[in-house]
């Protein structure tokens, strides 16, 4: 990995970006090997030794949106494991069931909902059954069940977040001023990246960058720089679930790097860290009051009008429950697997923020890269440390436009 913590005069030149991974032959071999492994794994028995390979196969099934009879059979087989026997596999299986279909696994998922003692499994099962309208249960039923099943639910990051989602369906009614959020410095002399999204993450959000002097990065024509950005995971589960959608909230920006992961590609990424992922000293850029992570340090980053808005703390609670490795990156994924998705030709992730990239499968060259535009705009701030703010602004079912954000800046 290459880490950069200071301004670089070298801009990313899209004409020089190239990777052999996207060549048709290489790409076909890569995905065929994955698919073959999935089918072969689903033929095996599930036991302590095979649980890890089953998890990998199920994760790959989810990322490629595979949904044929053999896949359904494999998911069913894994859903028939004894409740809480293989917790990691159990969570993965419930996640893939959620991403695969709304109704056909309801009976098996309800088995976990009724019996599991695992908070994460319970949360995934609740989301599945609520979406499937299983037995016509409403939010109030799940709120009451959660409170009865887990006496200390408000001490759990996952259950506290689940409870909020169940009990606050109209959260946007209390959304503080977005203009105040855009005006706020967070920390003096830091770059701030804002990534705005809809509640329905199937619609692309929009990302803009504020320079350390408080002005926003602009295009040559004087308009505010922006790129579309996707914050949806393969599962489309809420952000408090591991590998779910990118949680709302604040992240620390610590530099850029080039990922060794083939499906992310060679375009530099914005390296961000979640709360609890690194030390408070790193996260708060040495401006922390407490030696250990404390909600007060996080709260003090926010404008006063936002300090009591629960969703802005999602990244804090997600980090506390173990979420990490969320970055802002491009993609060399085979976009054919996402042609049926509303956000095509963008690609989902396991919880990161992704930008559109188009690659030539004959030459291996990059034809289009919003990620490169983002990185160059980020470099132009001359300060590669700061904060990322991810926020859902409403529940409209359409992509976010720069005009919506520009209006906020003029208020």
Specify whether the CB–CB gap between 303 and 181 falls below 8 A.
Answer: yes
Q: What is the pLDDT of residue 142?
A: 98
Q: What is the pLDDT of residue 94?
A: 98
> Does the N-terminal peptide bond of residue 345 adopt cis geometry, omega within 30 degrees of 0?
yes
Q: What is the pLDDT of residue 168?
A: 80
Which ranges of the chain have pLDDT less than 50? Answer: 1-9
Q: What is the pLDDT of residue 252?
A: 98
Q: Distance between CA atoms of 220 and 398, rounded to whole angstroms?
A: 27
Residues 6 or more apart in contact with residue 329 via CB below 8 angstroms? 259, 264, 265, 267, 269, 270, 349, 352, 353, 354, 355, 371
Q: What is the pLDDT of residue 3?
A: 40
Q: What is the pLDDT of residue 172?
A: 87
Q: What is the pLDDT of residue 6?
A: 42
Specify whether the CB–CB gap between 216 and 409 falls below 8 A.
Answer: yes
Q: Taking Cα atoms as reference points, which of 35, 63, 92 lies closest to residue 337? A: 63
Specify whether the CB–CB gap between 353 and 230 falls below 8 A.
Answer: yes
């Amino acid at each position: 990995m290459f880490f950069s913590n200071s301004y670089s005069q070298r801009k990313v030149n899209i004409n020089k970006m190239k990777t052999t991974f996207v060549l048709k032959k290489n790409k076909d071999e890569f995905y065929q090997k994955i698919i073959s492994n999935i089918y072969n794994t689903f033929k095996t028995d599930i036991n302590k030794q095979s649980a890890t390979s089953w998890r990998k196969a199920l994760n790959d099934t989810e990322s490629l949106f595979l949904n044929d009879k053999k896949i359904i059979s494999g998911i069913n087989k894994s859903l028939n494991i004894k409740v809480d026997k293989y917790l990691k596999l159990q969570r993965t299986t419930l996640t893939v069931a959620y991403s695969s279909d709304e109704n056909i696994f309801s009976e098996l998922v309800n088995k976990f909902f009724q019996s599991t003692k695992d908070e994460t499994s319970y949360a995934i099962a609740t989301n599945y059954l609520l979406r499937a309208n299983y037995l016509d249960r409403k939010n109030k039923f799940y709120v009451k069940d959660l409170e009865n099943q887990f006496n200390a639910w408000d001490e759990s990051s996952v259950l506290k977040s689940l409870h909020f989602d169940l009990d606050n369906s109209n959260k946007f009614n209390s959304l503080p001023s977005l203009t105040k959020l855009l005006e706020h410095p967070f920390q003096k002399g830091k770059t701030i990246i804002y990534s705005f999204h809809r509640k329905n993450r199937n619609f692309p959000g929009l990302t803009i960058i504020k320079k350390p002097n408080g002005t926003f990065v602009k295009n040559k024509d004087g308009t505010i720089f922006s790129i579309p950005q996707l914050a949806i995971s393969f599962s489309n589960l809420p952000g408090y679930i591991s590998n779910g959608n990118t949680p709302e909230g604040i992240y620390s920006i610590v530099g850029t790097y080039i990922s060794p992961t083939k499906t992310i590609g060679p375009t530099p990424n914005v390296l961000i860290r979640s709360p609890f992922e690194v030390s408070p000293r790193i996260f708060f850029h040495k401006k922390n009051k407490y030696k250990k992570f404390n909600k007060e340090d996080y709260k003090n980053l926010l404008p006063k009008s936002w300090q009591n808005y629960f969703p802005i703390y999602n990244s804090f609670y997600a980090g506390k429950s173990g979420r990490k490795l969320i970055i802002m990156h491009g993609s060399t994924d085979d976009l054919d697997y996402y042609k049926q998705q509303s956000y095509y030709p963008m690609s989902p992730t396991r919880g990161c923020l992704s930008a559109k990239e188009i690659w030539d499968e004959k030459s291996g060259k990059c034809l289009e890269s919003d990620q490169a535009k983002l990185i160059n705009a980020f470099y132009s701030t001359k300060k590669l440390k700061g904060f990322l703010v991810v926020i859902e602004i409403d529940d409209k079912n359409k992509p976010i436009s720069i005009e919506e954000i520009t209006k906020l800046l003029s208020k």
